Each structure stands twice: as C-alpha cells, then as structure tokens.
Chain A
Amino acid sequence: MLSCAAYLLVTAATETLSDLYVAEASVIPEPAYGLSSVSTPIPIGDPANTGATAVLPDGKTAEPCDTGAGSHTATMTEFEIVKWEWSYVQAPYLTVIWIMIASFAKILFHLSHSVTRVVPESCLLILLGLGLGGIVLAATKKPEYQLHPELFFLFLLPPIVLDSGYFMPSRLFFDNIGTILMYAVIGTLWNSFSTGLCLWGVKGAGLMDCNVNAGLMDFLLFGSLISAVDPVAVLAVFEEVHVNETLFIIVFGESLLNDAVTVVLYKVFNSFVEMGTDRVRPVDYVKGVASFFVVSLGGTVIGLIFAFVLALITRFTKRVRIIEPLFVFLLVYLAYLTAEMVSLSSILAMTFCGICCKKYVEANISQKSRTTVKYTMKTLASIAETIIFIFLGISAVDSSKWAWDTGLVLSTLFFIFVLRAIGVVFQTWVLNQFRLSPLDKIDQVVMSYGGLRGAVAFALVILLNETKVKAKDYFVATTIIVVFFTVIIQGLTIKPLVKWLKVKRSSQHKPTLNEEIHDRAFDHILAAVEDISGLHGYHHWRDKWEHFDKQYLSQVLMRKSAYRIKDDIWDMYQKLNVRDAISFVDQGGHVLSSAKLVLPSMPSRTSFSENSVTNLLRENGSGVCLDLQVIDTVRSVRDREDTVMHHVLTGNLYKPRRRYQANYSRHFMSAGEQERQDHEVFQRNMRRRLESFKSTKHHSYQGKAKSRYKKEHHAQKKPKCTDVGELVPNGKPRRNVSWQDTVPVVVTVDSEDDKSETEKEDEGITFVARTADEVLQEPLPVLPPGGQDVCHSPFTIPPSPTCAERQLPWKGDQGSLPVCVSLETTKIVPIDLQQAWNQSISSLESLASPPVAAESQSHCRAPLCRQEQRGSPSARGARGQGFLFQFPDWAAGQSGEEDSSQPVQQQEMQPLMSTGRAPKPVSPPSCVTGRWPPRISLLKSLVSVPPSASEPRSRKPTQL
C-alpha cells in the first residue's frame, strides 16, 4: 500500500529530521563553524556549505552537515565497501514486506478455486493473520504488530471508502437513499442504545464477572462502537455473495452512512465517560444531538465542496493528462483529511465526494486516466482490505490486551444479532409503507444477517482511554470476538443462506441498448405523470435536479468536448460499435491485414492467425491458394488495380503503429496515432453496420410489396449461393471472412442519379447496402458520363507512383511503411479483448463528431439505391409505399464470407491466388479503366477522406 508506505516513510523522515535537529542543535552552539566539517571527507571548498548549514537551521541544508558530522566521522577510520543500513530502510522495508505477504496470501488463496468459493477471502486473511501473529509472538516473545487506529483511520480505511464511494452506482444509491438513511441513522441509533442498555441490564442481573467495571455510560459507549455495521467487512463478504443490487446497496450504503452516527455516539459517550457521569449536564445531551447534525451534514458538505473543486480542476487538465489521476486521489483524500481535521464524519465526506465528482471527472479525464484511476483505486482498496484483515488476525494474538468474560462476550453476540434483527424488521415495516418495491422477508433476513462488524469497531475500541474506561480490556476482547464471529461465521454461512433462501441474485445481464433507452424513457414518463397528477414526488425532484445539472452544473464542471460523452446511451451505443468493431476485426480485420497487405519478405504464414482465410481455404482444398509469395509472379491488369487500391488503402487504412515510439517525455503520452487508429476502427465498423443494415423509414408496412421485393432479392442472391458449399466447411463458416467486410461497399457514384435520389430521399428512402461483389457484377458500362467527372478527383492518382511502385506497391512501400501487416491489429481480437476494448473506447473522447462515417454513409446510400432501382424496378414501388427493414446483417456478412469462390471475390483476391482454376475474364480493360477511378475514389471517400465538394451530398442520416 503506497500511502501506508508513504506514511512510514514520512514518519521515518520526520524522525530523522528531528534527529538532525538534535544533532544540529548540538553543532550550532559551537563557535567554530567549521568544527564539524573539519573531519569531513569533503574538506575542500566546503566552509561555505557548512556555513550555510550553520546559518540556516533548516532540515534540508542540515543534511550534509549531518552526514559530515555523524556517520562519516564515525566511520572515517576505515572505508567500508558495503554497509549494513537496516535502520535506515527498516520502516519502508517492513511495510513493503507486509504488503508482499498480503499479496502473496491473495495469490495463494486464489490458487485453489474450491476454497475461495466456499470461504470468503476475509476469513482466510484473518486466519492467516492469526497464524502470522502466532509466529511473530513465538519468535519475538512479544506481540510486535498491531492494527494501530491511526494507521487504520488515516491510511487503510480511506482507500476502501474512496473505492466504494467513487464506484458507487449513484443512481441506485440515490434511488434508495431514503431507505439507506433510515437504516443508517435510526437503525444505528437503535442498535447502539439497545445494545448498551441490554448489556447494562445483563451486568445488573449479575450475569457478568464483577471485574467488568463498567457503568451505564461505559456500556453505551461500547454499544455505540460495536453496533455499527462495518463497510470493510460488508464489502468483503457481500462482494462474493452477489445478492441483488438493491439489497446490496441498502446494506452497504447503511454501513457507509452510519459512520456519522457512530462517530457522534462514540465521541459523545466517550467524553461523557471521561468527564464522569455525574458531571454531565442536560445541555450536553442537547449538544450531542446538535453535534450529530453538524458532524453528518458538515462531512457531507465538505465532500460536496471537494467534489466540486475536483471536477473543476479536471476540467483544465487537458494538457497535463498524465497527472489527472493524481488529482482524483489527492482531492478526495484531502476531503477525508479535512473532515478528520475538523472532526466531522470523514467517511461521509469521502463517500459523497466520490459519488458526486465521478460523473464530471469521468467525463473530463481521458480514457487512460479513467483506467488508471480505476485500477489504482482497486489496487489500493484491495491491499488495504487485505492488510486490515491480516492485522486484525495478528492483533488478536496480543493477549496482553485481552480480558475474557464469557458473560459479556456471549450476551454481546446475542444482543447485537437479535437487536439488529428486531430493528430491521421494524424499520422495514415502516419503509414498506413508502417504498415502491417493498422489501420482503428474505431481504430482511439477509439484512439482519449481513450486519457484519469489523475493523472500525476494533480501531475504535483500541482508541479507548484505559484509565477512564476501566473495562477496556474486556471490551477489546469482546470486540475481537464479535468481529471474528461476524466475519468468519456469518461470512462463511451467508452464502449458503442466500442460496437456501433463494435470494434474488444480481443479474449478470448487461442492459441492452433498448433497455437503456426505455430506462431513460421511464424517467421522463414518470416525471411527466407526476407533474400531471400534481405530485411532487421523487421523480419530479430528480427531473428538476437533472435539469439544473444540465443547465448549470455540467456547463461549469465539464469540458465542452466531454459534454456528449457523459450520456449513458451514447456510451452504450459506442460500446456496441466497439463491440462490432472488435468482432469485425476478429472475423476479418486481421485476415485482411495479413493476407492482403502482407509483406513478401515475411518468412512464412505460420505467424498468421490460425483462423485466417488462408488456412481455412487450404484446409478445404478449395483449389484456391492464397500463397502470398505468388504475388510477385502474378502480373496482370488486376495487379494494377490492386496497386492503386493498395495506395488508397495504405494511405487511409491502418497505419502501422510505431511500436518503438520513443516516449521520453514524462509529462505527455503521445496518443495521436493511436487515437487515429481507434477512430478508424470506429469508422470502419460504422460502415459495416451500414452495410449490413438497411435502415429505412417506415410507414405502415405492406406485405405485398415486401414479398415482391423479397423475390427480387432472392433472385439476385440465389446464383451466388450455389457454390458456397464448395468452399465453406459446415462447422465454422463465420470465421471465413473475405474482403467484403473490410472494403465494404464499393460504390459507383453517379451524380445524375444521385441528384434524383436526393429528391426521392425526401420521401424517406434510404439505402440498401450492397457489398462489393454486387456492384462489380453490375454491367459496368451503365456508368453515365457524369461518373467520369467524379473520378477525376485529385485523390484518384496515387501520389507520384514510380513504375515499380505501380506494379508492386508493397515493394515500394517497404521502406516507408515497414509493417503493413499491423501486428497490432491482431491484438484487437478478443484474445486480449479488454485491451482492445479500452483502445477503442479511448477513441470516443476524441470523437466529437466523426464526420467521415456519416459522409461515407451518405455516399454509399445514394448509389446503392440506384443499384436497387436498376436491379428491381418493382422494388421502387415497394419503397415508395412502405419501407423495409432488411437484415442482411450478420447473415450478409456470412454469406459474403461464404462467397469466397465467387468470381468477384476472386477478382478481388486475384493477385493473391494462384488459382486452381483459370482466372475469370472479368472485364475488358476499357471497362476497367472506366470504372477504377470512381471505384477508387469512392473507396477513398469511404475509407477516410472527406469527399470533394463537387460531389453531391445527400442527407446524412447517421451523424455521430
């Protein structure tokens, strides 16, 4: 744990510093300022140095003085090659060792899945701690290590609270805030007082050892610290149980928010005990009540203030992305410390700071920072938790602080359990009058049983003043037993209990886009109905808040560019896109890059993915050999086509990533190239979506038209499907991906038709995506003269192609484009899905509006429509009346994939295939020249370049 290590470092440093001061103090009074430096090994020119040291009694400048005066003088007699500096590194060294042990323990536990499935990690850690404590005790004869309250409250607790606050599902939290507050405040008050009173009653009844020297106030104090449900323990246990979200948030929210009550009760009773019961005046009770409001509200306000500041800061970190994550930690920790400083509820401060800042912070910081924050937070929290449980175990070994009393222990265990159950049942009964989704009996059982006590109680009991609280030792022992009992016994049994009671589990199912949309719709519908019926209910206020947030808060706290990204549905949509992109890359992307743009110099194909088209084809003995070496020998017209295409593609598609990019700057991480590529994943995948998805406007649908259209379409598709079987294995056709996917729609633009189309579009036509083969299959001379104009766009001609380049572009490129086979692309396949995900996701923030996708869409649309018209005049009628929603979708991709033996397909692949069969005479050269340029220019426009202004633009339906 870093902060822990830092703490010990700091303490070590301060100790050294105070030592220095002492040393210096002894030095300074000496009149001869050179005294200490006389014997230093650096005698020359140092009077000035030592003089400065003597003049400025400063820790920093004192250091050379010290090294001169202290260690060196002592060891000057003999020069040592190495020295034993244990005392110098001891503190951080031990800290690191402890963290190491904790981490190793985690590894060890998770080696055996069957153990961790049954036994919660927290139990194992406590047991390990007990064992380690025993070893230490046996070795050193005295209990060495303890869970120090200071260490706990200042360094171990904050990471856990931060983690839980920051990653709290805020919507769920605020939806249930009433219930949570009820349990946290009323429940905790009830538990404390009733437990204290009952224990006092037991004492009065004489069931306790008379050595337990405690009055009512002592028991109330003990009740206050023992009754609070502990966030660390609850989190540790419930994390593995997976009860439904509502139940979890109620129990966990309670454990976080009861801090204010616990702190206040603890402080009030503690001061009452220390003052002496007889000196407590009535006004003190009033003060106690008042302090509750001050502590809780004050803590919350501090949290909110820091959340605001933090959000504001992250708005301006655009140029220092590298320290963005740091701000999150610093500010939230500062909130915690500030609350501690003014003795307000620090857990509340941190929780609310985390909850409230998250939305804005996440929107402002970069994706990488988001990931960093997430992982750092999780790491810190996890380590802190581990250390807490281990130290709980170790501390228990320290029997010097123990004083056992069976009556006290048993009655405490009994009362905290029974009283909590009573409290829960009563409160739930009240709450169910108000809750929209009532909590049933099973929920109540889990809530009662899930009231785990933990390290907070232990730290608080250790903090008690022994001289004032006479029964401290008894309380410590009881607390330890209670903590162990709840964490180990209840922790062990809660999982079977939940299973047995058939508690509704959390669904692993991720909401679909439609569910998200409807969720959003509900918010507005409910708010509207509340407004109509004149109620000022929850939805009304939430709606108001969202309005306020949108109007003011977000404007202030969010970057303009980040504004869009915060939208959940947009997020969702992006994720869908990225998922598509990934599956796309999985299916075909790397095949393209490796099979099509491979370097001849590549040693062999073995480095390619096993699933590559090449392998599949070879396995099936299709007679098509994708031997890449053949490229060199095949020269044909198609080579030229390929050459030009290649130029277009290499100019626009994946640039090889510079893997050894020098990254010397500590302050910036260059992201340009990467982001551009991510961008392209996105665009490509958009294209693919469009291709596979014929989106149309709908009026009512007319069945007749559909069937006719269907037939037409069938007629078109049929012949192609005939020789599918030849190539594709029945088993996994999906892996067999062709070009089609990657160079999706090769479109011929035709300005005239385009114009007429744009007119028609107003009636609500859209596009029929047609894959490349279909376009190619069309009789090409249909292309009107207008098409020629388009093809003369400046992009058509590859930039100064030399002859050799023209023939063998891959050779020409060898120098400048070292790796056309982007090895990185293969990384995007789900082997490392997470990374790919992140990479792709990170593009989102730069995507204020990727116009190209839209452009390309608008381009494919018009001509595609034209295609359709030409092919099927009747389909026109169908379109006019009602629009169709076609799903070539995956199937289309699939059928396209399966079509590898189609002539067109072959034509595309031709240069790569030394064909078993003769290459089909595709098109006469005249035609070819006539059609390349537009093809290529369009290809180009599809790939990335915005179209030239001359090209008529149609409506862009999908601007992102």
Chain B
Amino acid sequence: TVVMGAFHSGPHEQQFRQLADKTGFSLEQIETLHKRFKQLSQDEDTLQRENFDNVPNLDCNPIKTQIIEAFFDKRNFEKGGAGTVQEITFEQFLTVMGHFRPPELRMNDEQRDKVRKEKLRFLFNMYDTDNDGTITLEEYKHVVEELLSRSGTLEKKTASAIADAAMLEVASITVGHMEPDEFYEGITFDHFIKILNGLEIETRMNIHFLYVDTTTLCK
C-alpha cells in the first residue's frame, strides 16, 4: 500500500519537493523513506552506523558491512567526495537509495549507458574501500570471501581461491595477453565495466520503491 496524502500537510513538503526533483523519487516514496529514516534514526536528523543494527534482517546478510559503509561513503552522495562520514542526513540517505531506483521506462542508449555507469560506480566504490581508483586483489578478495563464505556453504579458503580465480579471469579479460613479468595491479573502473559487460545491471540493480509495506514501518 502506498502511503498517500500524508505529505501535503507535512512540515517537510517544500524540502521533499526539492528532493524529488533532485533524486527522481516521487513524493510518496520520499515520504515513506523519510518515515523509515526517522524510524531508523530514532527521530534524529541524522543516521549513524549503529542505527542500522536495528534492522533485524540485515544480520544474516553476508555483505552487511559493505552495504552500511556504502551509505556513509562520501563518493556515493557527493560529487568528487572522498572518505567517509560519521552520520548522514536524510538527503544523503535518499541519494544513496537513488542508486537503486529503477530507470525510466524508455531510455535511449546514451541514457542507458549513463544509468549503467552510475550503478556500476556505486558497486565499484563498494569494493574500492581505500578510494584509490583500483580494486586491488586484497580488496576484491575480502568482499568475495565475505560474500561466499558467509552466504553459501563454502569455506573461507575456497572462497579465497575463487577470488583468486576471479581476479585471474579479470586480468585475462581486461589485459588479455600478459607478459610473464607483467603484473596486474587491480581492477580499474574501466576494467570493472568491461568484466561486468554481460550483466544487465541497469535492469538488475533496481528495487521497487512502490510497495512500501507500512507494517514494517510500525515495527
């Protein structure tokens, strides 16, 4: 059920309208997300890392840390930003959420490409924890290990081996033939785009903000 009508009388109406223009969310979506924000932050204006502990389902998520970190990563809500912050405002929260907004129904190739790049950038930032423009093997391994060993049935060592193999694959895809004495430094963003070429990220990395279940808001 979509919460309707409530925002008209809300104190934030003006702000919400601006946000809607900025992020592309509808007013209803902003309204519900704002409710959620308030609920998570316990009625504060900013959200801190600890607040995410209140989301029960997140506990069994293998890449919980990375996700939460993504919300506090300046790169995801500021142009040219770097580093992390301690707390985020609602606008920043909304901007991060915006990365998961489904794109418009009709897009030309250029737009599609743009959406795709934005989403990939988000993902890239998630892996590239030290913000140096490359995902090093260690960083990549870390995520893959977490992902596989905590979610699936694989042991950590296997996961690590798989990460190695994946990196090997990255190198063979992006660089192609390497001289025996060459090194692969890490995945740059261009390489990242290249290796995920087969993945329809613009249709995959989306969430319906349509069905807002109010029961979860009341919890």
Contacts and interface: CB of A to CB of B under 8 A. Distances in A.
B213 to A, nearest CB: 4
A859 to B, nearest CB: 16
A637 B115 CA distance: 68
Contact of B63 (A432, A524, A550): A524
Contacts of B32: 534
Contact of B136 (A533, A569, A700): A700
Contact of B52 (A532, A884, A887): A532
A545 to B, nearest CB: 12
A468 interface: no
Interface string B158-183: 10111011111111110101111111
A667 to B, nearest CB: 31
B207 A526 contact: yes
Given A437-B203, A566-B153, A717-B180, A514 B166 contact: yes
B57 A531 contact: yes
A507 B151 contact: no
Contacts of A532: 36, 40, 52, 55, 58, 67, 71
Contacts of A563: 153
Contact of A960 (B55, B139, B158, B208): B158
A521 interface: yes
Contact of B179 (A436, A540, A891): A891
Interface centre among B62, B162, B216, by most chain A C-beta atoms within 10 angstroms, is B162
Report the contact-size class of chain A (Cβ under 8 Å from the partner). Answer: 35 or more
A524 B212 contact: no
A888 B203 contact: no
A700 B130 contact: yes
A885 B183 CA distance: 5
A717 B181 contact: yes
Interface stretch (B14-22, B79-87, B191-199): B191-199
A817 interface: no
B71 to A, nearest CB: 8
A514 B180 contact: no
B23 interface: no
A520 B168 contact: no
Contact of B157 (A525, A543, A550, A957): A957
A522 interface: yes
Interface in A565-584: 566-567, 569-570, 573, 576-577
A120 B164 CA distance: 45
Nearest to B184: A885
Contacts of B55: 531-532
B147 A701 contact: no
B157 A521 contact: no
A710 B185 CA distance: 13
A722 to B, nearest CB: 15
A887 B180 contact: yes
Contact of B138 (A438, A567, A699, A710): A699
B177 A890 contact: yes
Nearest to A885: B184
Contact of A531 (B58, B182, B205): B58
Given A531-B57, A533-B207, A892 B180 contact: yes
A854 B168 CA distance: 18
A515 B196 contact: yes
Interface string A38-55: 000000000000000000
Contacts of B141: 697
Contact of B160 (A698, A887, A958): A958
Interface in A25-84: none
A707 to B, nearest CB: 10
Interface centre among A695, A849, A883, A890 (most CB of B within 10 A): A695
Contacts of A434: 208, 210
A509 B168 contact: no
B178 A527 contact: no
A436 B130 contact: no
B39 interface: yes
A513 B67 contact: no
Contacts of B153: 550, 563-564, 566-567
A956 B211 contact: no
A889 B138 contact: no
Contact of A535 (B61, B62, B185, B211): B211
A567 B150 CA distance: 13
Nearest to B140: A698
A539 B207 contact: yes
B216 A518 contact: no
A895 interface: yes
B137 A697 contact: yes
A695 B179 CA distance: 16
Contact of B199 (A519, A524, A564, A576): A519
A109 B151 CA distance: 49
A957 B171 CA distance: 20
Contacts of A698: 136-139, 186
Interface in A667-704: 689, 693, 695-701
Contacts of A530: 207
B102 interface: yes
B211 A693 contact: no
Contacts of B136: 698-701
Contacts, number: 240
Nearest to B47: A532
B36 A891 contact: no
Given A525-B63, A536-B211, A536-B213, A886 B183 contact: yes
Interface in A493-525: 507, 509, 511-515, 517-522, 524-525
Contacts of A567: 148, 152-154
A325 to B, nearest CB: 25
A514 B195 contact: yes
Contacts of B158: 570, 573, 959-960
A695 B137 contact: yes
Given A885-B137, A885-B171, A528 B61 contact: yes
Given A524-B151, A525-B205, A528-B64, A889 B168 contact: yes
Contact of B137 (A520, A696, A956): A696
Given A698-B137, A700-B136, A891-B179, A513 B166 contact: yes
Contacts of A512: 169, 173, 195, 198
A99 B52 CA distance: 64
A871 interface: no
Nearest to A718: B181
A755 interface: no
Given A524-B62, A695-B137, A959-B157, A700 B132 contact: yes
Interface in A884-930: 884-892, 895
A242 interface: no
A547 B150 CA distance: 12
A175 B3 CA distance: 26
B217 interface: yes
A436 B183 contact: no
A889 B60 contact: no
A635 interface: no
A527 B212 CA distance: 14
Contact of B161 (A511, A535, A895, A958): A958
B52 A570 contact: no
24 contacts: A437-B203, A517-B166, A526-B207, A529-B207, A531-B57, A532-B40, A534-B213, A536-B211, A537-B208, A567-B153, A573-B161, A576-B165, A576-B169, A697-B138, A698-B186, A710-B182, A854-B157, A883-B138, A889-B178, A891-B177, A891-B180, A892-B180, A957-B157, A957-B160
Given A537-B207, A689-B165, A764-B138, 9 more contacts: A515-B198, A526-B206, A528-B64, A529-B100, A532-B67, A534-B39, A569-B154, A886-B183, A959-B161
Interface of B: 32-33, 36, 39-40, 52, 55, 57-58, 60-64, 67, 71, 97, 100, 102, 105, 123, 126, 130, 132, 134, 136-139, 141, 143-144, 147-148, 151-155, 157-158, 160-162, 164-173, 175, 177-186, 195-196, 198-200, 203-213, 216-217
7 shortest interchain CB distances as A-B pairs: A698-B136, A959-B157, A888-B180, A437-B203, A887-B178, A698-B138, A958-B161
